[in-house]
């Protein structure tokens, strides 16, 4: 049993998702504008993508901008969109060289035309890469995602392409933004907050949740490794029971 446990502890989760939180508090603690925290957050994204690749994680999802974030001050949103443009222009070539596929999920109707064009180009360039998939949740809200999937099902039923009796979990899952992405095994939230904030609600049904105190700009490979170590200490039963358990 010990050997089996050791082998398991050396295996990275197939899909790790991260709620990147704490940029604003990081900046405030240093007397800096929130923009400085967001810029440092981009550095943490770069470190974490490289760490995930080195650790053999198959899919890494990062929650970069939520549907609720559109309520933030216009100036802050403008700064965040500027950082997004910078990332898409400066980092995609390196992702491609590293064999990383980029996928963006979320409501892209609210994004500007030039950002959508950059996303299309990045996804097209990296489409066939197989080392790792980096999923960026952008303008993303899980409740809205589920509403969109339900609306698609309703439209297909109304058009006669789908029987109401054929609607099941698989049918709804196939109409989510993440239809081609495995469900997360591990969800990490930084900054000490203990909630998932409308992130991957359907997909996270059996994910392990790990909350860490580190603010996102300070997140390192060691923090990622520690969260994975905690993941391996959990017994995942997926609703079933084992001998001696309740």
Q: Tell me, what's the pLDDT at 240?
A: 66
Q: What one-character-per-residue DSSP string does 128-150 give? A: T--SEEEEEEEEE-HHHHHHHHH
156 labelled as ligand-binding?
no
Active site residues: 21, 69
User: Environment class of residue 55 by beta-carbon count within 10 Å: exposed (0-12), middle (13-18) or buried (19+)?
Assistant: middle
67 labelled as ligand-binding?
yes
Q: Tell me, what's the pLDDT at 2?
A: 38
The domains of the chain, with CATH numbers, are 15-233 (3.40.1180.10)
Reading phi first (left if > 0) and then psi (alpha if -120 to 50, else beta), residue 55 is in: alpha
Q: Tell me, what's the pLDDT at 236?
A: 79
246 labelled as ligand-binding?
no
Angstrom distance (rounded) from CA 80 to CA 74:
10
Looking up tokens 């704490």, which residue turns up? 22
Q: Tell me, what's the pLDDT at 9?
A: 55
Q: Tell me, what's the pLDDT at 242?
A: 55
208 labelled as ligand-binding?
yes
Angstrom distance (rounded) from CA 120 to CA 113:
11
225 labelled as ligand-binding?
no
Mean pLDDT in each 10-residue stretch from start to end of the chain (246 residues)? 47 96 97 96 97 98 96 94 94 97 96 97 98 98 98 98 97 98 98 97 98 98 98 82 51
- Retrieve residue 23's tokens: 């940029």
CA 208 vs CA 16, 62, 187: distances in Å: 10, 16, 6
Angstrom distance (rounded) from CA 217 to CA 223:
12
Q: Tell me, what's the pLDDT at 6?
A: 46
């Amino acid at each position: 049993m010990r050997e089996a446990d050791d082998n398991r502890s050396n295996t990275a989760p197939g899909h790790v998702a991260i709620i990147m939180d704490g940029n604003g508090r990081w900046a405030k603690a240093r007397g800096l504008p929130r923009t400085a925290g967001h810029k440092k957050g981009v550095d943490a994204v770069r470190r974490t993508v490289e760490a995930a690749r080195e650790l053999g994680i198959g899919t890494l999802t990062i929650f970069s901008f939520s549907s609720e974030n559109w309520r933030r001050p216009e100036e802050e949103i403008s700064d965040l969109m500027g950082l997004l443009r910078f990332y898409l222009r400066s980092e995609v070539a390196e992702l491609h060289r590293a064999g990383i596929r980029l996928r963006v999920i979320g409501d892209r109707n609210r994004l500007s035309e030039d950002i959508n064009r950059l996303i299309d180009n990045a996804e097209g360039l990296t489409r066939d890469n197989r080392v790792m998939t980096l999923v960026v949740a952008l303008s993303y809200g899980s409740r809205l995602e589920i509403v969109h999937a339900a609306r698609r099902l309703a439209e297909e039923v109304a058009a006669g392409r789908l029987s109401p009796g054929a609607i099941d979990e698989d049918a709804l899952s196939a109409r989510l933004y993440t239809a081609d992405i495995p469900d997360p095994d591990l969800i990490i939230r930084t900054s000490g907050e203990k909630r998932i904030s409308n992130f991957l609600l359907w997909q996270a049904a059996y994910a392990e949740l790990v909350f860490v105190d580190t603010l996102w700009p300070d997140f390192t490979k060691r923090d990622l490794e520690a969260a994975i170590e905690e993941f391996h200490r959990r017994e995942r039963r997926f609703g079933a029971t084992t001998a001696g358990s309740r």
